Amino acid sequence: MKTIRIGTRDSQLAMWQANTVKGKLENLGYETVLVPVKSTGDLVLDKPLYEMGITGIFTKTLDVAMIKGEIDIAVHSMKDVPTALPDGIVQAAVLERGQTIDLLAYNNNQEFLAQKDAIIATGSLRRKAMWLNRYPTHTVVDLRGNVNSRLEKLKNNDWNGAIFAAAGLNRIGLEHENTIGLSWMTPAPAQGAVMVVAMENDDFVLDACEQLNHKETEICTYVEREFLRHLEGGCSAPIGALAYINERTVTLSGVLLAVDGSKKLECEMDAPVGVHQNLGRAAAEKILNKGGKRLMNEMIDSPTKADVFSTKKLTNVQVQLFDQKIKVKSEDFVKINPSRISPIAVKNPIKNVIITSKNTVDALLTNFSPVELQFQNIYCVGRKTKRLVERKIGKVAHSENSAKKLAEYLVEFMEGLEVTYFCSNLRMDDLPDILTENNITVHEVEAYKTKFSSVKVNDSVKVVLFFSPSTVESYLLENHAGVTAYCIGETTATEARKHFKTVHVAKIPTAESLIELVNENNGK
């Protein structure tokens, strides 16, 4: 039997989490071994997290180790994990959640809570903003390090108190003499939860980890992280979210604050379990419409001129990954909009259905609830799409890594001679043609529209980032090819080489890896 290599940070809390996963897997009969590593977040302690501006600062090192094949799974505090995982890496399990509340550990007494002046320590921008919103005259100072070292710093400084996650203290058995539960402080999305990630093509490991998954925690953390994702926040935006389930109803409370705590936007919404997929997005849109867009824009420094332009909208965290001397702007050059799908298209059980992307899943669930999608045999392209379909719609009969391979499989093994294909208005695959040539009737249903949304880029731009062949096509509608192209993957690069003289390809197909490459080349 394969020994599962468990990657983890080497802090006491991270080791507790990894050992918990190790114990659960071994109880199921699997062989495991721990592989501890240090992350950038552990090594660089002289800056607040939000000033470092790195997405997944505690997870990036483990991601690279996994992609290199040095570990099989990684165990993370889920609140540290970026909402967009690197290509090839998937969420394999979420353990049952611990406490979500934040605690204030304090020295001496609580009298400072009623006083004008006090000093509170935290490395979290969310905690800082929420504390200043409640106590605007207090001073908040930075506090970094693992849980043990932060408690020691509290004892050795003249601060009044410091803020910690209750789950972290409890899991490693640390107690401070004086603590207060901050029930008024909305926690970070997924606080108190532990996530296990793995490579999407490692069926052995994924099957093992699936047995560790706690469904209620998975639902609640999914909703919270969708709220975070749609606000486009991360370590450098003060965002909190907490969801819970009561009598088959998911309730989400979300908050967005100004960095200094001077503004606070809140929202609470609910949805029945099973139709909760869009709850996080709906709550985020409500916040944005209440003034959140203006608030987010105030936190993003967007120069009028730029050296680098991205054809996909970057988060404020991603923008901060660039070297300070590099000026960056970004816009979505390709936009995806769900189509209005006629109920007739899903009326009565459909025998054979093809779903090839996440966009299709999102479009179907925008139009219908999962119970309305009565598909007998679902065929998918890509393991990530397969897992998404099985989580949100139903069991997948078969999946392949490409549309062409799926078409070849269907020609050979599909029951019947008809299939419904939910697709985009612009598609670049051979699947329908192959099926039609083999006397299989394909009913194409437009699930979403892919639209080019090109804008004229300033002449100061020397470098352009591309994320798909479509972004290359869209860019060229309004702009010339006299720039250097940086591409997220080889498929995109193949299209770019038809037009651009100099083309660079990211080492790993992620936005962060692409940005690293730009920094290595000094933005040239």
pTM as predicted? 0.60
Q: Are residues 394 and 458 in the same domain?
A: no
Q: Highest mean pLDDT range out of 137-151, 332-346, 409-423?
A: 409-423
Q: Are residues 87 and 197 in the same domain?
A: yes
Residue 225 tokens read as 């992280």
Q: Has residue 341 been placed in a domain? A: no
Q: Are residues 67 and 129 in the same domain?
A: no
Who wins on pLDDT, 325 or 454?
454
| Spatial contact of 171 and 98, defined as CB atoms under 8 Å apart | yes
**Pick from 145, 146, 176: which is nearest to 161 by CA?**
176
Q: Are residues 76 and 192 in the same domain?
A: yes
Domain-terminating residue out of 257, 275, 299:
299
Residue 34 has pLDDT above 80, yes or no: yes
Q: Are residues 286 and 173 in the same domain?
A: no
Span 359-415, pLDDT tens digits: 899 899 989 988 889 899 999 987 778 889 998 999 999 998 777 889 999 999 998
Active site residues: 80
Spatial separation of the C-alpha atoms in residues 400 and 383, rounded to whole Å: 8
The sign of the CA dihedral 231, 232, 238, 240 is positive
State the residue range of the domain holding 57. 1-95+187-213
Spatial separation of the C-alpha atoms in residues 254 and 224, rounded to whole Å: 8
Q: Are residues 11 and 119 in the same domain?
A: no
Residue 26 has pLDDT above 90, yes or no: yes
* Mean pLDDT for the chain overall: 87
**Pick from 179, 226, 183, 235: which is nearest to 52 by CA?**
235
Q: Are residues 461 and 509 in the same domain?
A: yes
Q: What CATH number is given to the structural domain containing 206?
A: 3.40.190.10
Q: Has residue 338 been placed in a domain? A: no
Who wins on pLDDT, 338 or 197?
197
Q: Has residue 265 been placed in a domain? A: yes
Q: Has residue 86 been placed in a domain? A: yes
Spatial separation of the C-alpha atoms in residues 77 and 21, rounded to whole Å: 12
**Pick from 56, 54, 49, 65: which is nearest to 85 by CA?**
56
Spatial separation of the C-alpha atoms in residues 188 and 421, rounded to whole Å: 39
| Spatial contact of 102 and 168, defined as CB atoms under 8 Å apart | no
Segment 60-87 shows an average pLDDT of 86
How is residue 148 annotated by DSSP?
Answer: H
Torsional class of 301: left (φ above 0), alpha (ψ -120 to 50), beta (otherwise): beta
Amino acid 427: pLDDT:
66
Q: Are residues 426 and 489 in the same domain?
A: no
Residue 43 has pLDDT above 70, yes or no: no
Structure-token match 């503004």, residue found: 263
**Pick from 489, 484, 495: which is nearest to 518 by CA?**
484
Q: Are residues 148 and 263 in the same domain?
A: no
Spatial separation of the C-alpha atoms in residues 109 and 113, rounded to whole Å: 9
Q: Are residues 54 and 83 in the same domain?
A: yes
